[in-house]
Structure 1
Amino acid sequence: MTSSPPPTRIRKMPEERRAEIVHTAARIALEEGLERITLRRVADELGVRPGLIGHYFPAADDLVSEAFAYAASKERASLLPDEEIGLAPVDRLARFLARLTDGEYVDLGRLWLNARHVSRFKPGLRAAVRAQEALTRDALTVLVDKGVHAGEFTTEDPLGVALHILVNVDGLGAYTNDDVPFDHPALHDMAIATAERLLGLPGGTLRARG
Protein backbone atom coordinates (compact mmCIF):
# COMPACT_ATOMS: atom_id res chain seq x y z
CA MET A 1 0.00 0.00 0.00
CA THR A 2 1.51 3.31 -1.08
CA SER A 3 1.08 6.26 1.28
CA SER A 4 0.15 9.63 -0.15
CA PRO A 5 2.88 12.28 -0.12
CA PRO A 6 2.42 15.05 2.47
CA PRO A 7 0.69 18.17 1.13
CA THR A 8 3.06 20.78 -0.24
CA ARG A 9 3.04 24.06 1.64
CA ILE A 10 2.65 26.94 -0.78
CA ARG A 11 5.30 29.59 -0.24
CA LYS A 12 3.77 33.05 -0.33
CA MET A 13 5.43 36.06 -1.85
CA PRO A 14 7.04 38.37 0.79
CA GLU A 15 4.61 41.23 0.09
CA GLU A 16 1.62 38.89 0.39
CA ARG A 17 2.89 37.30 3.59
CA ARG A 18 3.67 40.67 5.18
CA ALA A 19 0.21 42.01 4.32
CA GLU A 20 -1.36 38.86 5.79
CA ILE A 21 0.56 39.34 9.03
CA VAL A 22 -0.49 43.00 9.35
CA HIS A 23 -4.11 42.20 8.51
CA THR A 24 -4.20 39.44 11.14
CA ALA A 25 -2.61 41.67 13.78
CA ALA A 26 -5.12 44.44 12.99
CA ARG A 27 -8.01 42.00 13.45
CA ILE A 28 -6.64 40.94 16.83
CA ALA A 29 -6.30 44.60 17.82
CA LEU A 30 -9.90 45.37 16.86
CA GLU A 31 -11.33 42.32 18.60
CA GLU A 32 -9.15 42.12 21.71
CA GLY A 33 -6.85 45.15 21.96
CA LEU A 34 -3.35 46.15 20.90
CA GLU A 35 -1.84 44.53 24.00
CA ARG A 36 -2.86 41.12 22.66
CA ILE A 37 -0.65 41.41 19.59
CA THR A 38 2.43 39.22 20.02
CA LEU A 39 4.56 37.43 17.47
CA ARG A 40 3.44 34.07 18.86
CA ARG A 41 -0.25 35.01 18.83
CA VAL A 42 -0.12 36.14 15.21
CA ALA A 43 1.87 33.01 14.28
CA ASP A 44 -0.74 30.79 15.93
CA GLU A 45 -3.53 32.56 14.04
CA LEU A 46 -1.73 31.97 10.74
CA GLY A 47 -0.52 28.46 11.54
CA VAL A 48 3.16 29.30 11.12
CA ARG A 49 6.24 29.48 13.36
CA PRO A 50 6.83 32.67 15.39
CA GLY A 51 10.22 32.96 13.69
CA LEU A 52 8.47 33.67 10.40
CA ILE A 53 6.61 36.61 11.94
CA GLY A 54 9.88 37.78 13.52
CA HIS A 55 11.52 37.73 10.10
CA TYR A 56 9.15 40.49 8.96
CA PHE A 57 8.77 42.20 12.33
CA PRO A 58 11.79 41.61 14.60
CA ALA A 59 10.14 43.78 17.27
CA ALA A 60 6.52 43.21 18.26
CA ASP A 61 6.09 46.96 18.81
CA ASP A 62 6.70 47.54 15.11
CA LEU A 63 3.90 45.13 14.27
CA VAL A 64 1.59 46.83 16.78
CA SER A 65 2.25 50.22 15.19
CA GLU A 66 1.69 48.98 11.66
CA ALA A 67 -1.44 47.06 12.61
CA PHE A 68 -2.95 50.20 14.13
CA ALA A 69 -2.00 52.30 11.08
CA TYR A 70 -3.58 49.69 8.80
CA ALA A 71 -6.84 49.62 10.77
CA ALA A 72 -7.01 53.43 10.98
CA SER A 73 -6.37 53.78 7.25
CA LYS A 74 -9.13 51.28 6.47
CA GLU A 75 -11.44 53.23 8.78
CA ARG A 76 -10.72 56.52 6.99
CA ALA A 77 -11.25 54.91 3.58
CA SER A 78 -14.64 53.57 4.68
CA LEU A 79 -15.74 56.85 6.26
CA LEU A 80 -14.63 59.03 3.32
CA PRO A 81 -14.59 56.59 0.36
CA ASP A 82 -12.94 57.71 -2.86
CA GLU A 83 -16.01 56.77 -4.89
CA GLU A 84 -17.92 59.60 -3.17
CA ILE A 85 -15.45 62.34 -4.10
CA GLY A 86 -17.87 63.60 -6.76
CA LEU A 87 -20.64 64.22 -4.23
CA ALA A 88 -21.40 67.67 -2.87
CA PRO A 89 -19.29 68.41 0.23
CA VAL A 90 -22.39 68.71 2.41
CA ASP A 91 -23.44 65.19 1.40
CA ARG A 92 -19.95 63.75 1.98
CA LEU A 93 -19.81 65.32 5.42
CA ALA A 94 -23.31 64.09 6.22
CA ARG A 95 -22.38 60.53 5.29
CA PHE A 96 -19.10 60.74 7.20
CA LEU A 97 -20.88 61.77 10.40
CA ALA A 98 -23.81 59.38 9.95
CA ARG A 99 -21.41 56.46 9.59
CA LEU A 100 -19.50 57.47 12.70
CA THR A 101 -22.67 57.62 14.78
CA ASP A 102 -24.59 54.59 13.47
CA GLY A 103 -22.97 52.11 15.88
CA GLU A 104 -20.90 50.18 13.35
CA TYR A 105 -17.61 51.78 14.40
CA VAL A 106 -17.65 50.79 18.07
CA ASP A 107 -14.64 48.48 17.70
CA LEU A 108 -12.68 51.21 15.94
CA GLY A 109 -13.63 53.67 18.65
CA ARG A 110 -12.24 51.23 21.22
CA LEU A 111 -9.09 50.80 19.13
CA TRP A 112 -8.41 54.56 19.04
CA LEU A 113 -9.00 54.80 22.79
CA ASN A 114 -6.69 51.83 23.33
CA ALA A 115 -4.01 53.21 20.99
CA ARG A 116 -3.89 56.61 22.66
CA HIS A 117 -3.41 54.98 26.04
CA VAL A 118 -0.82 52.41 24.98
CA SER A 119 1.09 54.96 22.87
CA ARG A 120 2.17 56.71 26.07
CA PHE A 121 4.65 53.89 26.51
CA LYS A 122 5.46 53.03 22.88
CA PRO A 123 7.15 55.76 20.76
CA GLY A 124 6.51 53.90 17.50
CA LEU A 125 2.79 53.61 18.17
CA ARG A 126 2.68 57.23 19.33
CA ALA A 127 4.13 58.31 15.97
CA ALA A 128 1.59 56.13 14.13
CA VAL A 129 -1.31 57.62 16.10
CA ARG A 130 -0.14 61.16 15.36
CA ALA A 131 0.32 60.37 11.67
CA GLN A 132 -3.16 58.86 11.34
CA GLU A 133 -4.71 61.75 13.29
CA ALA A 134 -3.04 64.19 10.89
CA LEU A 135 -4.25 62.35 7.80
CA THR A 136 -7.85 62.26 9.02
CA ARG A 137 -7.69 65.88 10.19
CA ASP A 138 -6.32 67.01 6.81
CA ALA A 139 -8.94 65.04 4.87
CA LEU A 140 -11.79 66.55 6.90
CA THR A 141 -10.30 70.06 6.65
CA VAL A 142 -10.10 69.77 2.86
CA LEU A 143 -13.72 68.59 2.75
CA VAL A 144 -14.92 71.53 4.84
CA ASP A 145 -12.86 73.96 2.75
CA LYS A 146 -14.43 72.61 -0.44
CA GLY A 147 -17.85 73.14 1.08
CA VAL A 148 -16.99 76.75 1.88
CA HIS A 149 -15.86 77.42 -1.69
CA ALA A 150 -18.99 75.70 -3.02
CA GLY A 151 -21.15 78.04 -0.92
CA GLU A 152 -22.53 75.18 1.19
CA PHE A 153 -20.73 75.98 4.45
CA THR A 154 -20.10 79.24 6.28
CA THR A 155 -16.85 79.39 8.22
CA GLU A 156 -13.56 81.25 8.11
CA ASP A 157 -11.71 78.41 9.84
CA PRO A 158 -12.09 74.99 8.14
CA LEU A 159 -9.34 73.49 10.29
CA GLY A 160 -11.02 74.73 13.45
CA VAL A 161 -14.29 73.12 12.39
CA ALA A 162 -12.50 69.84 11.63
CA LEU A 163 -10.89 69.91 15.07
CA HIS A 164 -14.21 70.56 16.81
CA ILE A 165 -15.82 67.62 15.00
CA LEU A 166 -12.97 65.19 15.61
CA VAL A 167 -12.49 66.08 19.27
CA ASN A 168 -16.24 65.69 19.72
CA VAL A 169 -16.12 62.24 18.09
CA ASP A 170 -13.12 61.26 20.21
CA GLY A 171 -14.94 62.35 23.35
CA LEU A 172 -17.89 60.15 22.48
CA GLY A 173 -15.42 57.32 21.97
CA ALA A 174 -14.71 57.40 25.70
CA TYR A 175 -18.06 55.66 26.20
CA THR A 176 -17.21 52.70 23.97
CA ASN A 177 -15.62 50.63 26.75
CA ASP A 178 -18.72 50.62 28.94
CA ASP A 179 -20.30 47.17 29.29
CA VAL A 180 -23.65 48.91 29.58
CA PRO A 181 -23.00 52.16 27.70
CA PHE A 182 -24.66 55.32 28.87
CA ASP A 183 -27.21 56.34 26.27
CA HIS A 184 -29.04 59.55 25.50
CA PRO A 185 -30.42 60.93 22.22
CA ALA A 186 -28.02 63.88 22.48
CA LEU A 187 -25.02 61.56 22.16
CA HIS A 188 -26.11 60.26 18.77
CA ASP A 189 -26.35 63.70 17.19
CA MET A 190 -23.77 65.63 19.22
CA ALA A 191 -21.08 65.65 16.53
CA ILE A 192 -23.67 66.36 13.84
CA ALA A 193 -25.20 69.25 15.80
CA THR A 194 -21.73 70.67 16.40
CA ALA A 195 -20.92 70.56 12.69
CA GLU A 196 -24.21 72.19 11.73
CA ARG A 197 -23.74 74.99 14.23
CA LEU A 198 -20.18 75.74 13.15
CA LEU A 199 -20.96 75.56 9.44
CA GLY A 200 -24.12 77.68 9.49
CA LEU A 201 -26.42 74.81 8.51
CA PRO A 202 -30.04 74.53 9.69
CA GLY A 203 -30.51 71.93 12.41
CA GLY A 204 -31.27 68.48 11.02
CA THR A 205 -29.60 69.12 7.64
CA LEU A 206 -26.77 66.63 7.99
CA ARG A 207 -28.83 63.87 9.58
CA ALA A 208 -31.42 64.15 6.82
CA ARG A 209 -28.79 64.04 4.06
CA GLY A 210 -26.70 61.37 5.72
Structure 2
Amino acid sequence: MGRPSKAVERKAELLAVARRTVVERGLLNLRIRDVADGAGVTPGSVLYYFPSLAELLQEVQRDAVERFCTARERAAAGGTAPGRRLVAMIRSGLPAGPGDELCVLLYELGTIARRDPAYAARHIALFERQVGSYAAILEAGAATGEFTLTDDATTIARNLVALEDGYGLHITHAVPTLTRTAAEELMLAFARTATGSALAEQS
Protein backbone atom coordinates (compact mmCIF):
# COMPACT_ATOMS: atom_id res chain seq x y z
CA MET A 1 0.00 0.00 0.00
CA GLY A 2 1.40 3.39 -1.00
CA ARG A 3 2.10 6.26 1.33
CA PRO A 4 -0.63 8.89 1.81
CA SER A 5 -0.27 11.80 -0.57
CA LYS A 6 1.36 15.00 0.64
CA ALA A 7 -2.02 16.73 0.34
CA VAL A 8 -3.65 14.21 2.68
CA GLU A 9 -0.79 14.51 5.15
CA ARG A 10 -0.86 18.33 5.05
CA LYS A 11 -4.63 18.44 5.58
CA ALA A 12 -4.33 16.09 8.54
CA GLU A 13 -1.60 18.29 10.03
CA LEU A 14 -3.70 21.42 9.60
CA LEU A 15 -6.72 19.73 11.17
CA ALA A 16 -4.61 18.74 14.17
CA VAL A 17 -3.36 22.31 14.55
CA ALA A 18 -6.89 23.66 14.16
CA ARG A 19 -8.15 21.31 16.89
CA ARG A 20 -5.41 22.45 19.24
CA THR A 21 -5.98 26.12 18.41
CA VAL A 22 -9.73 25.91 19.09
CA VAL A 23 -9.11 24.22 22.44
CA GLU A 24 -6.42 26.71 23.47
CA ARG A 25 -7.98 29.93 22.17
CA GLY A 26 -11.67 29.18 21.83
CA LEU A 27 -13.72 30.22 18.81
CA LEU A 28 -14.16 33.88 19.73
CA ASN A 29 -12.22 35.96 17.18
CA LEU A 30 -10.47 32.85 15.82
CA ARG A 31 -8.78 33.56 12.46
CA ILE A 32 -7.16 31.54 9.71
CA ARG A 33 -3.90 33.29 10.67
CA ASP A 34 -4.05 31.68 14.12
CA VAL A 35 -4.12 28.22 12.56
CA ALA A 36 -1.43 29.18 10.06
CA ASP A 37 0.86 30.48 12.81
CA GLY A 38 0.37 27.28 14.78
CA ALA A 39 1.31 25.22 11.73
CA GLY A 40 4.23 27.46 10.76
CA VAL A 41 2.76 28.28 7.35
CA THR A 42 1.11 31.25 5.67
CA PRO A 43 -2.66 31.85 5.77
CA GLY A 44 -2.65 31.26 2.02
CA SER A 45 -1.27 27.77 2.56
CA VAL A 46 -4.17 26.95 4.88
CA LEU A 47 -6.70 28.39 2.43
CA TYR A 48 -5.21 26.24 -0.35
CA TYR A 49 -6.55 23.17 1.45
CA PHE A 50 -9.57 24.74 3.17
CA PRO A 51 -11.15 27.63 1.22
CA SER A 52 -12.52 29.27 4.39
CA LEU A 53 -12.29 29.09 8.16
CA ALA A 54 -15.87 27.80 8.21
CA GLU A 55 -14.95 24.82 6.01
CA LEU A 56 -11.89 24.06 8.12
CA LEU A 57 -13.94 24.11 11.33
CA GLN A 58 -16.66 21.95 9.75
CA GLU A 59 -14.02 19.32 8.99
CA VAL A 60 -12.72 19.62 12.56
CA GLN A 61 -16.25 19.08 13.83
CA ARG A 62 -16.84 16.05 11.58
CA ASP A 63 -13.62 14.46 12.78
CA ALA A 64 -14.31 15.23 16.46
CA VAL A 65 -17.83 13.82 16.34
CA GLU A 66 -16.67 10.61 14.69
CA ARG A 67 -13.77 10.08 17.11
CA PHE A 68 -15.96 10.76 20.15
CA CYS A 69 -18.79 8.47 19.07
CA THR A 70 -16.50 5.67 17.90
CA ALA A 71 -14.62 5.67 21.20
CA ARG A 72 -17.88 5.53 23.15
CA GLU A 73 -19.33 2.75 21.04
CA ARG A 74 -16.15 0.74 21.48
CA ALA A 75 -16.20 1.26 25.26
CA ALA A 76 -19.80 0.07 25.50
CA ALA A 77 -19.57 -2.72 22.93
CA GLY A 78 -21.59 -5.90 23.30
CA GLY A 79 -20.34 -9.11 24.83
CA THR A 80 -20.89 -8.11 28.45
CA ALA A 81 -23.99 -7.67 30.60
CA PRO A 82 -26.14 -4.59 29.83
CA GLY A 83 -25.42 -3.18 33.30
CA ARG A 84 -21.70 -3.17 32.66
CA ARG A 85 -22.23 -1.68 29.22
CA LEU A 86 -24.39 1.09 30.69
CA VAL A 87 -21.75 1.99 33.27
CA ALA A 88 -19.07 2.00 30.56
CA MET A 89 -21.24 4.23 28.37
CA ILE A 90 -21.74 6.73 31.19
CA ARG A 91 -18.03 6.83 32.01
CA SER A 92 -16.99 7.26 28.39
CA GLY A 93 -19.18 10.34 27.89
CA LEU A 94 -17.87 12.54 30.71
CA PRO A 95 -14.81 14.75 30.26
CA ALA A 96 -11.70 13.79 32.19
CA GLY A 97 -11.37 17.42 33.30
CA PRO A 98 -10.90 20.97 31.96
CA GLY A 99 -8.07 19.75 29.72
CA ASP A 100 -10.07 17.03 27.95
CA GLU A 101 -9.27 18.11 24.39
CA LEU A 102 -11.98 16.19 22.56
CA CYS A 103 -14.84 17.16 24.86
CA VAL A 104 -13.75 20.82 25.03
CA LEU A 105 -13.53 20.84 21.24
CA LEU A 106 -17.07 19.53 20.88
CA TYR A 107 -18.42 22.08 23.37
CA GLU A 108 -16.66 24.93 21.58
CA LEU A 109 -17.92 23.85 18.17
CA GLY A 110 -21.39 23.31 19.57
CA THR A 111 -21.73 27.05 20.13
CA ILE A 112 -21.73 27.63 16.36
CA ALA A 113 -24.77 25.37 16.03
CA ARG A 114 -26.90 28.22 17.38
CA ARG A 115 -26.49 30.14 14.13
CA ASP A 116 -25.18 27.78 11.44
CA PRO A 117 -27.46 25.00 10.08
CA ALA A 118 -24.53 22.87 8.93
CA TYR A 119 -23.02 22.76 12.40
CA ALA A 120 -26.47 22.30 13.92
CA ALA A 121 -27.12 19.24 11.74
CA ARG A 122 -23.92 17.53 12.91
CA HIS A 123 -24.60 18.52 16.52
CA ILE A 124 -28.04 16.92 16.27
CA ALA A 125 -26.53 13.82 14.68
CA LEU A 126 -24.05 13.60 17.56
CA PHE A 127 -26.87 13.80 20.09
CA GLU A 128 -29.03 11.23 18.31
CA ARG A 129 -26.16 8.80 17.80
CA GLN A 130 -25.44 8.83 21.52
CA VAL A 131 -29.15 8.45 22.31
CA GLY A 132 -29.23 5.43 20.01
CA SER A 133 -26.29 3.81 21.79
CA TYR A 134 -27.85 4.32 25.20
CA ALA A 135 -31.28 3.14 24.02
CA ALA A 136 -29.83 -0.08 22.59
CA ILE A 137 -28.20 -0.90 25.94
CA LEU A 138 -31.38 -0.08 27.86
CA GLU A 139 -33.51 -2.21 25.54
CA ALA A 140 -31.09 -5.11 25.87
CA GLY A 141 -31.25 -4.85 29.65
CA ALA A 142 -35.05 -4.77 29.60
CA ALA A 143 -35.20 -7.75 27.25
CA THR A 144 -32.98 -9.87 29.52
CA GLY A 145 -34.80 -8.81 32.69
CA GLU A 146 -31.74 -7.08 34.12
CA PHE A 147 -33.47 -3.68 33.87
CA THR A 148 -36.97 -2.64 34.83
CA LEU A 149 -37.28 0.63 32.96
CA THR A 150 -39.32 3.46 34.47
CA ASP A 151 -39.95 4.95 31.01
CA ASP A 152 -39.35 4.05 27.39
CA ALA A 153 -35.70 3.48 26.49
CA THR A 154 -35.43 6.52 24.21
CA THR A 155 -36.73 8.92 26.85
CA ILE A 156 -34.25 7.60 29.42
CA ALA A 157 -31.47 7.72 26.83
CA ARG A 158 -32.22 11.35 25.97
CA ASN A 159 -32.10 12.29 29.63
CA LEU A 160 -28.76 10.52 30.08
CA VAL A 161 -27.21 12.39 27.15
CA ALA A 162 -28.61 15.70 28.40
CA LEU A 163 -27.13 15.03 31.85
CA GLU A 164 -23.76 14.25 30.28
CA ASP A 165 -23.80 17.49 28.33
CA GLY A 166 -24.77 19.58 31.34
CA TYR A 167 -22.34 17.99 33.77
CA GLY A 168 -19.60 17.99 31.14
CA LEU A 169 -19.80 21.77 30.83
CA HIS A 170 -19.37 22.12 34.59
CA ILE A 171 -16.35 19.79 34.52
CA THR A 172 -14.62 21.72 31.72
CA HIS A 173 -15.09 25.25 33.11
CA ALA A 174 -11.92 27.20 33.83
CA VAL A 175 -12.97 26.84 37.47
CA PRO A 176 -14.81 23.48 37.51
CA THR A 177 -17.99 23.49 39.55
CA LEU A 178 -18.19 19.70 39.54
CA THR A 179 -15.63 16.90 39.47
CA ARG A 180 -15.82 14.02 37.04
CA THR A 181 -16.26 11.61 39.96
CA ALA A 182 -19.19 13.58 41.34
CA ALA A 183 -20.80 13.85 37.90
CA GLU A 184 -20.41 10.12 37.32
CA GLU A 185 -22.10 9.31 40.61
CA LEU A 186 -24.98 11.69 39.84
CA MET A 187 -25.49 10.02 36.47
CA LEU A 188 -25.32 6.56 37.98
CA ALA A 189 -27.91 7.60 40.58
CA PHE A 190 -30.31 8.59 37.79
CA ALA A 191 -29.50 5.41 35.84
CA ARG A 192 -30.20 3.23 38.90
CA THR A 193 -33.60 4.85 39.34
CA ALA A 194 -34.41 4.61 35.63
CA THR A 195 -33.40 0.96 35.30
CA GLY A 196 -34.16 -0.49 38.72
CA SER A 197 -30.65 -1.93 38.70
CA ALA A 198 -27.95 -1.61 41.39
CA LEU A 199 -25.35 -0.42 38.92
CA ALA A 200 -22.76 0.08 41.68
CA GLU A 201 -22.23 -3.68 41.51
CA GLN A 202 -21.16 -3.24 37.88
CA SER A 203 -18.36 -0.78 38.74
Could you tell me the TM-score, scaled by structure 1's length? 0.77
Alpha-carbon shift at residue 167 of structure 1 (Å): 0.9
Inter-partner Cα distance in structure 2 for 1:186 and 1:47 = 41
The structure with the largest alpha-carbon Rg is 1
Give the helix-richer structure, 1 or 2.
2
Alpha-carbon shift at residue 110 of structure 1 (Å): 3.7
1:196 and 2:192 are equivalent in the alignment: yes
Stretch moving more, 164-173 or 28-37: 28-37
Q: How many residues align?
A: 196
**Hey, what does 1:104 align to over in structure 2?**
96
Stretch moving more, 153-162 or 74-83: 74-83
Instruction: Indicate how the Cα distance of structure 1 residues 94 and 100 shifts in structure 2: closer, same or farther if over 3 A, else same.
Output: same
Of the three residues 20, 32, 36, the one matched with 1:43 is 36
1:169 and 2:161 are equivalent in the alignment: no
Alpha-carbon shift at residue 188 of structure 1 (Å): 4.0
**Hey, what does 1:25 align to over in structure 2?**
18
**Hey, what does 1:7 align to over in structure 2?**
none
Q: Percent identity?
A: 26
Alpha-carbon shift at residue 71 of structure 1 (Å): 1.8
Inter-partner Cα distance in structure 2 for 1:122 and 1:18 = 23
The question of whether the paired residues in 1 share the 8 Å contact of 2:75 and 2:92 is answered with: no
Of the three residues 148, 172, 176, the one matched with 1:154 is 148
Query: Unaligned stretches of 5+ in structure 2?
Result: none
1:143 and 2:137 are equivalent in the alignment: yes
The question of whether the paired residues in 1 share the 8 Å contact of 2:75 and 2:89 is answered with: no
The question of whether the paired residues in 2 share the 8 Å contact of 1:110 and 1:176 is answered with: no
RMSD, matched Cα: 2.8
The question of whether the paired residues in 2 share the 8 Å contact of 1:61 and 1:124 is answered with: no
Stretch moving more, 78-87 or 67-76: 78-87
Alpha-carbon shift at residue 192 of structure 1 (Å): 1.2
**Hey, what does 2:61 align to over in structure 1?**
68
The question of whether the paired residues in 2 share the 8 Å contact of 1:175 and 1:182 is answered with: yes
Instruction: Indicate how the Cα distance of structure 1 residues 139 and 41 shifts in structure 2: closer, same or farther if over 3 A, else same.
Output: same
Query: Unaligned stretches of 5+ in structure 1?
Result: 1-10
Of the three residues 128, 137, 155, the one matched with 2:122 is 128
SS in 1 for 2:114: coil
Inter-partner Cα distance in structure 2 for 1:131 and 1:165 = 16
Query: What are the within-5 Å matches in structure 2 for residues 169-188 of structure 1?
Result: 169-176=164-171, 178-183=173-178, 187-188=183-184
Inter-partner Cα distance in structure 1 for 2:29 and 2:123 = 18
Stretch moving more, 160-169 or 134-143: 134-143
The question of whether the paired residues in 2 share the 8 Å contact of 1:79 and 1:100 is answered with: yes
The question of whether the paired residues in 1 share the 8 Å contact of 2:170 and 2:176 is answered with: yes
Inter-partner Cα distance in structure 1 for 2:30 and 2:72 = 25
Instruction: Indicate how the Cα distance of structure 1 residues 36 and 153 shifts in structure 2: closer, same or farther if over 3 A, else same.
Output: farther
Stretch moving more, 81-90 or 63-72: 81-90
The question of whether the paired residues in 2 share the 8 Å contact of 1:65 and 1:128 is answered with: no
Stretch moving more, 181-190 or 137-146: 181-190
